[in-house]
Amino acid sequence: MLTSERRRTPAIERKIVFSRIGFALSLAIFVIALFVLYHILRDINPRALLAALKATDWRTLLVAACFVAAGYVTLTFYDLFALRTIGRNDLPYRAAALGGFTSYAVGHNIGASVFSGGAVRYHIYSNWGLSVVEVTKICFVAGLTFWLGNVTVLGLGVLYTPAAGRAIDQLPLWLNRGFGLLLLALLAAYVAWVWVKPRVIGREDWQLTLPGGPLTLVQITIGIVDLSCCAAAMYMLMPGQPNLGFATVAVIFVAATLLGFASHAPGGLGVFDAAMLVALWQFRKEDLLAGLLLFRLLYYITPFVISLVILGVRELWLGHGSRRIAQATSPRIAGEYAREQPDVS
């Protein structure tokens, strides 16, 4: 027992050190982003910003909203794929859709989506008989899908338009191309690794068989579709001039999203916006800021409100159903109890 505890102590200490380093990096990203954002927006013209918001055509908003809706539909397949991966084929799509939509809508807005989204998932999937371990596996597989999609889009995008990468990291074009090649090489190595034979990760009670090669390609496709829909929504809300290509905007959008994710700020607030404003310096600040605000309204606030309504209605429905069951069974239980009592008359 003592030997086992001694073995665990260094591992626990390493986890504590890494968590502290991660927290420090997240805090540094957030503070730097706020500093940059302050210097960019301190001379913003509120009237020009309001005029830019009013000038947005309703048809543009509608198309952007459709892309956002398509993105959230794709997010439901993150959970469906994860459920099938852990062998829970008994859960229907509607369960995955509820778990995927609400967990991402809440996680995007609260921040620390691994924990907040995981809590929402457990709250939903526990009613279907899933354990904490199974929900943890779902979160892992869904996160893996997210990162595979990001690596693919970022690698291909930076390789195709290295100038977009330079707008974020300010590095030479050749170095950004090298970074894109490195990402694609790592992606290819992972796909080849899982293609050769089944790969099992974890130990003791937490073991997971990773999706094989063909299923990993499905994962990558889901991630690409999700990111493409989100980037398309942002692209629709951007100013018309100057006209940047979709690939350039997509690369900048993905990089800014990852920076926001690394900061653990709710919705990447401040970090995502600062990265977009710095990288897309060609646009008038008021016009670009109007697009960012509308994107937040469509992608973050509206789904968050809808998810809260869905979760609230679900709780009321479950509570009503529980009361009906209790009312239906209580007379029967009372009758059975009375029959079991001895006759003392």
Amino acid occupying residue 24:
A
Residue 2 counted as domain residue:
no
Question: Hey, which residues does 207 pair with through a beta bridge?
Answer: 202
pTM, entire model: 0.81
How many structural domains compose the chain? 1
Residue 74 counted as domain residue:
yes
Residue 207 counted as domain residue:
yes
Give, for all 345 residues of the chain, the pLDDT tens digit. Answer: 444 444 445 545 555 554 556 556 655 655 665 666 555 667 777 888 888 888 888 999 999 999 999 999 999 999 999 999 998 999 999 999 999 999 998 888 876 677 778 888 998 998 899 999 999 999 999 999 999 999 999 999 999 988 888 888 788 888 989 999 999 999 999 999 999 998 988 877 788 989 999 999 999 999 999 999 999 999 999 887 777 888 889 999 999 888 887 777 777 777 888 888 888 888 888 888 999 999 999 998 899 999 999 988 888 887 755 555 545 554 544 444 345 444 433
Residue 231 counted as domain residue:
yes
Residue 122 counted as domain residue:
yes
Task: Write out the residue range of the structural domain in which residue 102 sits.
Answer: 17-328
Residue 345 counted as domain residue:
no
Residues with Cβ within 8 Å of residue 161, at least 6 apart in sequence: 245, 247, 248, 251
Residue 76 counted as domain residue:
yes
Residue 1 counted as domain residue:
no
